[in-house]
C-alpha cells in the first residue's frame, strides 16, 4: 500500500549526523525501532553486482592487520554493512550514486567543512591548513562496484545541508559533538525535531536496554510490529505538541532536563506495550540477539 499525504506528514525521519553509517549494532537497533527512515547523505552502498565472498575475505584481511585507527575501523564496519544494504532499503537511505566516487554531483562547500572542523577542534593556528579527505572509495573485489562515503568533516557538513533541504532533523548520538549553527536554546515550534528528540530519549529512559539485533532480525521486528511502531512514532508527534508549550525560551540544558521529566511523567506510563514486545524473550529476534 502506497503512503498517503497524511502518512508522509506523520512519518518520523532523521538525518544521521555522527558518522556515514550507524556506528554499531546498538545504534542501528535504536534507529530501526524509532524512525521510519534515516538518511545518510553522500553514502553509497552497492546492493548487488559484487561477490560477497570476496568482500568477506577482504574484511578478514583488514581485521588481521589489527589497525585500530578510526578510518580503518569505519571502513570495516561499512564493508560489513554492504551485505545488508538491500535488506535495509527503505529504512536506511544512502543518497549517493555509485557513478560518483568523488561526490562531485552534489559537492559540499569547503567553507562549511572548515566550519565543522573549527566547531569541533577550534580555529587552526595561523598558517596551518587542516588536511581533510573529501571522500573514501573502496572497490569490492573484482567487480565494478564501489563503496563510497564522505570524509569526516564533509559528511557532517553534507548532513547539515541535507537536513536543511528536506526538513528532516539532524540526529546526533555523540555527546559533545558540536555543529555550526547549533542553537543553545530549545527547539521551540519545531515539531519534527521535538518528536525525534522525544523518540530517541524514550528509548534511553522508558525502555530497558534493547537487544542488539542483526539487520535481518531488525527488519523482521519492524515488519511484525509495524502497527505498534507506527502508533509509537505518531504518539511522539502528539507529545511534541504538549512539550512545545513548556519549553519556550529555555536554554539547552534546561530543555534536556524538562524533556527527561516530561518523558518520565507523561510518556513512560503509556509505553508498556512497546516495552514488553521489544524485550519479550519468547520473540524470535530477541532469542537470536541473545544467542549471537
Question: Between vectors from CA 7 to CA 6 and to CA 12, what angle results, nearest 5°?
Answer: 120
Low-confidence ranges of the chain (pLDDT < 70): 1-10, 175, 178-189, 203-211, 268-292
pLDDT of residue 292: 46
- 94 assigned to some structural domain: yes
pLDDT at 83: 95
- The reply to whether 212 falls in a domain is yes
Tally of domains in the chain: 2
Domain boundary among 182, 217, 236: 182
Looking at the structure, do residues 128 and 226 belong to the same domain, yes or no? no
The domain containing residue 22 runs over which residues? 13-182
Residues 137 and 25 in one domain: yes
Longest Cα separation, the chain = 62
Residue 96 near residue 40, CB atoms below 8 Å:
no
pLDDT for position 210: 59
Same-domain pairing of 178 and 204: no
- Over the chain, what is the mean pLDDT? 83
How many CB atoms are closer than 10 A to CB 84?
18
Q: What does the pLDDT read at residue 250?
A: 72
What is the tens place of the pLDDT at every residue in 170-210?
Answer: 888 776 776 665 555 556 567 777 877 777 777 666 555 55
Amino acid 20: pLDDT: 97
pLDDT for res 283: 62
The set of cell numbers assigned to 231 is 502508533
Amino acid at each position: 500500500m502506497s503512503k498517503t499525504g497524511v502518512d508522509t506528514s506523520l512519518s518520523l525521519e532523521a538525518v544521521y549526523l555522527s558518522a556515514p553509517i550507524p556506528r554499531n549494532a546498538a545504534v542501528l537497533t535504536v534507529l530501526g525501532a524509532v524512525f521510519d527512515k534515516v538518511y545518510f547523505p553522500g553514502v553509497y552502498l552497492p546492493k548487488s553486482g559484487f561477490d560477497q565472498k570476496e568482500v568477506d575475505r577482504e574484511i578478514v584481511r583488514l581485521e588481521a592487520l589489527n589497525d585500530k585507527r578510526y578510518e580503518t575501523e569505519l571502513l570495516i564496519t561499512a564493508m560489513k554493512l554492504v551485505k545488508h544494504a538491500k535488506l535495509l532499503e527503505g529504512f536506511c537511505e544512502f543518497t549517493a550514486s555509485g557513478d560518483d566516487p568523488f561526490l562531485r554531483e552534489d559537492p559540499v562547500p569547503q567553507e562549511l567543512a572548515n566550519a565543522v572542523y573549527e566547531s569541533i577542534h577550534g580555529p587552526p593556528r595561523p598558517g596551518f591548513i587542516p588536511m581533510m579527505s573529501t571522500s573514501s572509495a573502496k572497490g569490492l573485489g573484482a567487480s565494478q562496484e564501489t563503496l563510497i562515503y564522505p570524509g569526516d568533516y564533509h559528511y557532517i557538513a553534507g548532513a547539515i545541508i541535507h537536513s536543511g533541504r528536506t526538513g528532516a532533523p539532524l540526529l546526533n548520538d555523540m555527546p559533545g559533538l558540536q555543529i555550526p549553527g547549533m542553537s543553545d536554546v530549545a527547539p521551540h515550534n519545531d515539531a519534527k525535531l521535538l518528536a525525534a528528540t522525544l523518540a530517541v530519549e524514550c528509548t534511553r529512559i522508558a525502555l530497558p536496554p534493547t537487544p542488539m539485533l542483526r539487520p535481518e532480525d531488525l527488519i523482521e521486528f519492524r515488519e511484525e510490529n509495524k502497527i505498534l511502531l507506527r502508533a509509537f512514532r505518531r504518539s511522539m508527534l502528539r507529545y511534541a505538541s504538549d512539550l512545545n508549550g513548556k519549553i519556550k525560551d529555555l536554554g539547552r540544558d534546561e530543555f534536556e532536563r524538562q524533556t527527561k521529566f516530561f518523558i518520565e511523567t507523561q510518556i513512560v506510563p503509556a509505553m508498556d506495550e512497546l516495552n514488553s514486545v521489544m524485550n519479550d524473550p519468547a520473540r524470535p529476534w530477541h532469542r537470536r540477539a541473545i544467542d549471537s
